[in-house]
Amino acid sequence: MKVVLFCGGLGIRLHPDTVNVPKPLVLIGGKPVLWHLMKYYSYFGHKDFILCLGYKGEAIKKFFLNYDECLSSDFIFSNGGRTRQLLDSDIEDWRITFADTSVHSNVGQRLKAVQKYLEGEEMFLANYSDGLSDLPLPKLINFFIDAGKTGCFVAVKPFYSFHIISLRADGCVKSVSPVSQSNLRINGGFFVFKNKIFDYIKDGEDLVNEPFQRLIQKDELVAYDCDGFWASLDTYKDKQRLDELASKNNAFWEIWNHKS
């Protein structure tokens, strides 16, 4: 199944990291967050990617054009370096379509821009390219197929350190509790769509606002509850947290390293 990744945002909340590189190339544990996400999908056999490029898209192209698998994989070096035999591979069997979808496009328009690359596909996967999870992807896909709807996204519990408050009419506080302990769920990305999603997106519209409302009105949108680990790379604090997890070998999203 093809995987559409939205890679064109400005990443303003991650400055100064995103001054010189786009957010998908911000490093987590020494590898771009985009690489981690693509590795996740490829682990489940989905290796045909469409990258919706925008801000500093040329940097993403250069990253893959200059990618040296010997730096991240075991290999045999012989004949003074003239022969290099990879013993395993990161990206050798990936197929990547690099699509310029404009710097200032929103997610809905980026998706519309790559519609031509999805012709003939009954369904496809999509993601914001900055979320990481140990989500059991086959279960998500089966849930979507069984539901028989047009769109699906993963509903996750936020990990943010905010608190939810409840007030009385006079302004006195009734309760304060961490948002992570509430029943609140947010859109965690990890979308699955049927191709007819494009019938719901009009020119200029973002993905979640107007199109999702149309899907909701027709009972064509479902959400898959994910109670596992999930995190997004939105701020420098998020980067610090994910880097710390990677440094302690607690990178929950690296399911390819969790083989028994």
**Residues contacting residue 142 through CB under 8 Å, at least 6 positions apart:** none
- At the fourth CATH level, the homologous superfamily of domain 2-158+185-257 is Spore Coat Polysaccharide Biosynthesis Protein SpsA; Chain A (3.90.550.10)
Across the range 125-135, mean pLDDT stands at 93
Taking a C-beta distance cutoff of 8 angstroms, is the pair 89, 72 a contact?
no
Taking a C-beta distance cutoff of 8 angstroms, is the pair 50, 97 a contact?
yes
Q: Calculate the CA 53 to chain-centre distance.
A: 14
Entry pTM? 0.87
Does residue 158 have a cis bond before it (omega within 30 degrees)?
no
Mean predicted lDDT score pLDDT of the chain: 87
Determine the Cα–Cα distance for residues 3 and 92; give it in Å rounded to an integer. Answer: 17
Across the range 198-224, mean pLDDT stands at 94
Residues 13-44 have pLDDT tens digits of 777 767 788 899 999 988 899 999 999 999 99
Per-residue model confidence (pLDDT) at position 256: 87
